[in-house]
Structure 1
Amino acid sequence: MHRLPIPEDVTGAEIDADVRQELMSLPKTLADDVARNLVMVARLLDTEPEEAYKFSRVALRLASRVPSVREAAGFASYMTQRYSEALTEFRAARRMTGRADLWPVMADCERGLGRPEKALAMAGEPEVKQLDKAGQVEMRLVAAGARGDMGQFDAAVVTLQSPELASNAVHPWTARLRYAYAEALIAAGRADESRDWFAKAAEADPEGSTNADERLAEIDGLEFVDALDPEAEELAEETAEEPVRRPAHDPRDEGTDKVIFEEDEDVEEFYDEDDLEIEEASAQEVDQIDRDREARRSERD
């Protein structure tokens, strides 16, 4: 069996106690090996899901009868959009444990497979009543997403309306719920109501797990500049240093005293001291001024 390199600092002792308990059914050496692979799955799942998936397959080949291994393999498949594989693993884990906590993500896999009707049907099954508050909110998010997939945008808005949405209390799922509601409002043609909910999502999301801040800035007409992006910083500096140019005739200037700023070379090329005289000169004087100007230019040439 092909094994993947694992950093020496990963011992396997990092796993949760309940997972360790499940692995006690295995020989110690094998249990430690599986545990180290599960730690790598957890480490890489959010940042490098494809790598996490590879480690999950190793753990699965080593211990396919352990519920936590099937669950980890399911989440790795889910994060890499292998929804059919994910659904298979989640179903296996649920059969082994009898728990309902995977029900929302199983329904979301149905959405990923292009079956929003199935996901919506799962939202009405008895398993939902077995979920804790976080699980029920997750199920509501999946159901609203399924409504959106089916083009039922107004129904998606109604699906998200709940005591959890109206509450001012902040929980781990609060930012995602408010953000989803703002997006649902936009999809339903109620964009004017979405700003407040993006703002509420941003308030509940200090770590930036959603992009509520950016969506709020888009609505307000602001632009984010990544402070860690040298090119963006250089562009911002150039923009700040560039003089503001306005057209020669600007309606905003009418009725006001104009001050025209020009580059030095523009002044040398287009400005002549006789220009001041022309404003007050008669037609004959204008001809004389033009002749004098031509004479001076000939002498300079």
Structure 2
Amino acid sequence: MPIPQEVTGEEIDKDVRQELQSLPKTLAEDVARNLVMVARLIDEDPEAAYGYSRVALRLASRVAAVREAAGFAAYASQKYSEALAEFRAARRMTGNVELWPVMADCERGLGRPEKALDMAGAPEVHKLDKAGQVEMRLVAAGARRDMGQLDAAIVTLQSPELASHSVQPWTARLRYAYADALLAAGREAEAREWFAKAVEADRDGSTDASDRLAELDGVEFTDALDESGADAGSAGASREIGVAAAEDEPVGEAEAPAADEDKDKDKDKDEDED
């Protein structure tokens, strides 16, 4: 896959660049450019990001940062078995435990929530930083829900981090997960309260908490183009792709009588010649 010329590879994190110094210069540049593309596309086009990650993996499979990037690209593409294999390889190379929560979530993706719960109780969790521990709690709660244990999922999310008034990078997601679990358990009033708290913490719009809150409040959003019903919506869609809308069609109908007049003139001319 082609890489835009403006991508030099210098855009990557300095720690990753340092890892790539073990490679020949030209090879390191090629790997770096592919990793930049993975980072750029992983949210908007996971499959394309996955493709670039495979190129980087083929070029430098012994670099931990490459294995980690390949794992996240596979994870974003819901290739959980492949992602888990790459994360395990990266962990063997570095000895770090920071990938433990996402590895557990891969187990969920593979339909093994019990394994994810086992990992949530493993000694590795105590070695995680606060963000990692919160992530592990989210994964464990998700595993409980996978198993139909809603009450246990709610209890799992109840923590000092949830009760804290300070806003951290994980706060919005934690509150959102708690609200969603409450709603699934039929505790709508409490769910509304926590969706509202998630909105307060969601400064970068990482969740759809505002939409969920509006839904609970009975607020309906309508398309501005759809004022006259389904037909109006279709017309608006037609404009977007450059197709004449229904309201433009009368122009063509106005031209039809002129064609009929030409036919009448030709008919009179033939009768005069006869």
Deviations 1:250-277 (A, max 9, x none): xxxxxxxxxxxxxxxxxxxxxxxxxxxx
Q: Give the TM-score normalised by the residue count of structure 2.
A: 0.82
Deviations 1:14-33 (A, max 9, x none): 11111011101100000000
The residue aligned with 2:42 is 45
Kindly state the Cα deviation for residue 129 of structure 1 after the two structures are TM-superposed.
0.6
Instruction: Say which of 51, 75, 84 aligns to 1:87.
Output: 84
Kindly state the Cα deviation for residue 206 of structure 1 after the two structures are TM-superposed.
2.6
User: In the alignment, residue 197 of structure 1 is paired with which amino acid?
Assistant: W
1:160 aligns with 2:157: yes
Task: Give unpaired runs (5+ residues) of structure 2.
Answer: 230-274
Kindly state the Cα deviation for residue 171 of structure 1 after the two structures are TM-superposed.
0.9
The residue aligned with 2:224 is 233
**CA RMSD, 1 decimal:** 1.0
- Give, in whole Å, the separation in 2 of the partners of 1:117 and 1:201: 28
Kindly state the Cα deviation for residue 192 of structure 1 after the two structures are TM-superposed.
2.1
Q: Give the TM-score normalised by the residue count of structure 1.
A: 0.75
User: In the alignment, residue 109 of structure 1 is paired with which amino acid?
Assistant: C
User: In the alignment, residue 145 of structure 2 is paired with which amino acid?
Assistant: G
Kindly state the Cα deviation for residue 235 of structure 1 after the two structures are TM-superposed.
2.0
Instruction: Say which of 17, 23, 28 aligns to 2:14.
Output: 17
The residue aligned with 1:6 is 3
User: In the alignment, residue 178 of structure 2 is paired with which amino acid?
Assistant: Y
- Bigger share in helix: 2
- 8 A Cα contact 1:214 1:224, kept in partner: no
1:150 aligns with 2:147: yes
- Write out aligned runs for 1:255-270 (5 A): none
The residue aligned with 1:260 is none
Deviations 1:155-179 (A, max 9, x none): 0000000000001111111100000
- Give, in whole Å, the separation in 2 of the partners of 1:234 and 1:31: 51
- Give, in whole Å, the separation in 1 of the partners of 2:8 and 2:53: 16
Q: Give percent identity, aligned residues only.
A: 76
The residue aligned with 1:208 is 205
Instruction: Say which of 87, 93, 99 aligns to 2:96.
Output: 99
Deviations 1:159-209 (A, max 9, x none): 000000001111111100000000111122212210010001011113221
Instruction: Say which of 100, 119, 122 aligns to 1:125.
Output: 122
User: In the alignment, residue 46 of structure 2 is paired with which amino acid?
Assistant: P
- Give, in whole Å, the separation in 2 of the partners of 1:79 and 1:135: 18
- Give, in whole Å, the separation in 1 of the partners of 2:160 and 2:181: 17
Instruction: Say which of 51, 54, 61 aligns to 2:58.
Output: 61
Helix, strand or coil at the partner of 2:9: coil
Instruction: Say which of 152, 163, 168 aligns to 1:171.
Output: 168
Task: Say which one has the larger Rg.
Answer: 1
User: In the alignment, residue 6 of structure 1 is paired with which amino acid?
Assistant: I
Helix, strand or coil at the partner of 2:5: coil
- 8 A Cα contact 1:60 1:69, kept in partner: yes
Deviations 1:100-154 (A, max 9, x none): 0000000000000000000000000010011111000000000000000001100
The residue aligned with 1:198 is 195
- Give, in whole Å, the separation in 1 of the partners of 2:48 and 2:25: 25
Kindly state the Cα deviation for residue 234 of structure 1 after the two structures are TM-superposed.
2.1
Q: How many pairs does the alignment contain?
A: 229
- Give, in whole Å, the separation in 2 of the partners of 1:94 and 1:223: 47
Instruction: Say which of 6, 31, 35 aligns to 2:32.
Output: 35
